Structure 1
Amino acid sequence: MAKVAFLLADGFEDSEMTNPYEALKEAGHEAVIVGFEQGLECKGKKGAVYTTDLAVEDVKATDFDGVVIPGGGAPEALRVNEDLIAFVKEINQQSKLIAGICHGPQVMISADVLQGKDATCYIGIRDDVKLAGANFKDEEVVVSANLITSRTPKDEPAFIREILAKLG
């Protein structure tokens, strides 16, 4: 079974964390919440609370099979952390899964992993995704090499389906 890092900070979109997280665990995968500090409480926009399992400075890409980046306000905070961006870059260099929904691709932009790939996202960051070199597609889910992207909570079933398919 796969070991997947969920990158989390305050302000995440609750369902975009909860639904993929629970689906991966139900499928037998190991879901590890990674944030700025170990044991940090992260609060969602609608009240969900998760505690980080590991600090990003303590994780290695070789220990994981991929990352999931829930949307909401969290990606804006996550993208300025150098350790987190280095981790995502290493995951990409190893051609492992990077899945981002809604604002999640903001982290992908900062890690410079979108160049030449197809991607979708929340409409408000569409231009940023294009400027990062991606071919923007307004579709519920876009799979491009090791990247999986989706737009909004209504796209979660397709997002989850493709993550599970990629992890096998």
Structure 2
Amino acid sequence: MDKITLNAFIMLSIVLFAAGCTGSGSSEERRSEVIVPDVQAVNRPHVAVLLTEGFQDAEAYMPIGYLENKDMDITVIGPETGRVKAYNSDFEIVVQKKVGEVSVDEFDALVLPGGKAPAALREDPTVVEFAKNFFNSGKPVAAICHGPQVLATAGVLKDVTTTGVGSIRGELEEVGANYVDEALVIDGNLITSRVPDDLPVFSKAIEDAIKKAR
């Protein structure tokens, strides 16, 4: 993605973030699609973004734009390939590879955006196993909003300090997680945040964790 396209993408994400949080703007004004380039450069960090239909738009686009701007390669993975739509706008993103077609070894970090998608992802055994293996590899795993639901189902949050959107606090504590209501929580290789307002610190923490791990 060239700099002009990337800058336009980042600006679009910021506009989307503002519109998505306030509920303003018609669906026609907000309709768009992002296709992440399916090109990986040698020796650049490679990040997997795991999502499906019903993702939260800003929680996917803003980390992708931020990390690409830091010279990192992104691959969007999910249960099935093809276009999927955000639950809170008409924005779409292309899932490039099925989870069952990739391995933990291919990536330096895993990002789990929120929205309604995690509730569907956690029902897929292949997705849950991938998330479990990624977490247990010690590589950075970042989840925001409802994203930690996938990790809760994977059974990796016992005695782990984490956060997420307030509505999932109970289920995180049920699996043994130590929930704290903070914008950014880092415990070992796990990075968690609560809501779109936390995206700036969330995205920066992912960058820092990847650089530290390499």
- Considering fraction of residues, name the structure with more helix: 2
Match of 1:132 in 2: 175
Quote how far apart the aligned CAs of 1:119 are: 0.2
Superposed, 1:153-164 pairs within 5 Å as: 153-164=196-207
What is the aligned length?
Answer: 167
Quote how far apart the aligned CAs of 1:157 are: 0.6
Please give the alpha-carbon distance, in whole angstroms, between the structure 1 residues aligned to 2:71 and 2:92: 22
Aligned-partner SS, 2:48: strand
Q: Does 1:10 align with 2:53?
A: yes
Aligned-partner SS, 1:99: strand
Match of 1:122 in 2: 165
Match of 1:146 in 2: 189
Match of 2:84 in 1: 42
1:33-90 Cα offsets, whole Å, 9 max, x none, are 001123x111012121111110111011111112101000000011111111111111
For the 8 Å contact 1:59–1:87, the answer to whether it is kept is no
1:18-37 Cα offsets, whole Å, 9 max, x none, are 00011111111111100112
Please give the alpha-carbon distance, in whole angstroms, between the structure 2 residues aligned to 1:85 and 1:33: 16
Please give the alpha-carbon distance, in whole angstroms, between the structure 2 residues aligned to 1:29 and 1:86: 25
TM-score, length of structure 2 as denominator length: 0.76
Structural RMSD (CA)? 0.8
Q: Which runs of 5 or more structure 2 residues have no equivalent in the other structure?
A: 1-43
Which one has the largest radius of gyration? 2
Match of 1:65 in 2: 108
Match of 1:113 in 2: 156
Please give the alpha-carbon distance, in whole angstroms, between the structure 1 residues aligned to 2:127 and 2:76: 13
Aligned-partner SS, 1:95: coil
Asked which structure has the greater RCO (Cα within 8 Å, sep 6+), the reply is 1
- Runs (4 or more) in structure 1 with deviation over 3 Å come to none
Letter in 2 for 1:97: P
Q: Does 1:85 align with 2:128?
A: yes
Q: Which runs of 5 or more structure 1 residues have no equivalent in the other structure?
A: none
Identity of aligned residues (%): 36
1:95-122 Cα offsets, whole Å, 9 max, x none, are 0111100000001101111111110000
